[in-house]
Amino acid sequence: MQATIPPKTLISPTKLGRRFHFRNRKNPSLSISAALSKNVTTPEAQDAIKRALAKKAVGLVKSGMVVGLGTGSTASIAIQQLGTLITQGKLKNVVAVGANYQSRVLARQYGVKTVDFNDINNIDIVFDGADEVDFNKNLLKGGGAAHTMQKVVDSMAKECVILADESKVVFQLGSTFPVPPDFKQLSSRMLVFWDTGGKKYNHNIAHLVDVLSLAVEVIPPAISPVLRRLVTLGGIPEIRSALRKDGPVITDLGNMVVDVSFPNGIENPADLEKSINLIPGVVDNGIVSGIATSVLVAIQDGDSVTVMNLEEYVKIVGVPSNANSTI
Ligand SMILES: O=C(CO)[C@H](O)[C@H](O)COP(=O)(O)O
């Protein structure tokens, strides 16, 4: 799918997503001035971006298809739009498979028939969101603690289409960590303590701006050993706390979520994904490598939104000579 970009939407650095603007500590040449980081959009503009992405994705669905449902606010809008097309009779005999409670409920609410995951052999297309996407279509997911089952559904689909606004496209996953790992800027709010083999860390990174950490789903009895092993892999882990409930987030599968920041970013997503999943007690982590078949990127220009393939976006943005991209 090729989008034609009108000349007025050609990107200048000030239009680049905010994640490009933060310093890449390991590799400063991948950094763009932090002074440009105020690329603030309104909730209405965000909504328009998500709608444009959803429309493009749902346009790929054909009658008779088995559709995998994604998670997150962008995928939710796609589910709504899919329901509208089905209700209007523009799509027929479409069934959907939802990885998570939220997407299944939403689908039924909007008139999309859902089937049990174990009753189908293959999925034709899935559209899903992501928290970050790199130039090689590696993803960071797990903002909604729903990545484990979502990865199962995404991996089953012939076509896995990821919907991302340009602020989510990064040179390197997890590389927007704003503080050095000496924890100088740690807050006393919601301190999390644990013993990591003789060294005691106490910190809370969750409130710091633009930390994008890696979500790791962990079976609760194994939480302490897993935290220690994540530290040995160079990560700074923190148990995700629930909002409007005391204690940790508990996933749909009954597990805990640990958010792990890597001070140098994630240098080799596929390797780290495997290494973390080899830790006993880990269910799955939010790195998704080698599964996305296409990424749709939305760029906002004033009131208009342009959606294009990642490959086209990368051509416009340009790949830094030392960036690790196969595009
Ligand atoms: O990984 C996810 C949930 O676990 C979501 O896909 C991700 O957080 C993106 O969500 P949104 O479209 O709301 O930005």
Domain interval for residue 159: 7-172+290-317
Q: pLDDT of 224-265, one tens digit each?
A: 999 999 999 999 999 999 988 999 999 999 999 999 988 878
Residue nearest to atom 7 of ligand 1 (CA): 130
Whether 11 and 147 share a structural domain: yes
Residue 322: inside a domain, yes or no? no
Residue 43: inside a domain, yes or no? yes
CB of 129 within 6 A of ligand 1: the answer is yes
What CATH number is associated with residue 310?
3.40.50.1360
Residue 178: inside a domain, yes or no? no
Structure-model confidence comparison of residues 88 and 22, the more confident one: 88
Q: Residue 50 in 3-state DSSP?
A: helix
Instruction: With a cut of 80, say whether residue 10 has pLDDT above it.
Output: no
CB of 162 within 6 A of ligand 1: the answer is no
Report the nearest atom of ligand 1 relative to the CA of 50. Answer: 12
Q: pLDDT of 75-97, one tens digit each?
A: 999 999 999 999 999 999 999 99
Whether 160 and 264 share a structural domain: no
Whether 42 and 123 share a structural domain: yes
What CATH number is associated with residue 204?
3.30.70.260
Whether 29 and 68 share a structural domain: yes
Q: What is the pTM of this model?
A: 0.80
d(CA 122, CA 68): 10
Report the nearest atom of ligand 1 relative to the CA of 129. Answer: 6
Whether 95 and 150 share a structural domain: yes
String of DSSP letters for 228-289? HHHHHTT-EEEEPBPSSSSSB-B-TTS-EEEEEE-TT--S-HHHHHHHHHTSTTEEEESEE-
Residue 132: inside a domain, yes or no? yes
β-pair partners for 239: 258
CB of 259 within 6 A of ligand 1: the answer is no
Q: What is the pLDDT of residue 4?
A: 35
Whether 40 and 147 share a structural domain: yes
Q: pLDDT of 174-198, one tens digit each?
A: 875 333 333 333 333 223 333 333 3
Overall average pLDDT of the 68-79 stretch: 97
Overall average pLDDT of the 286-293 stretch: 98
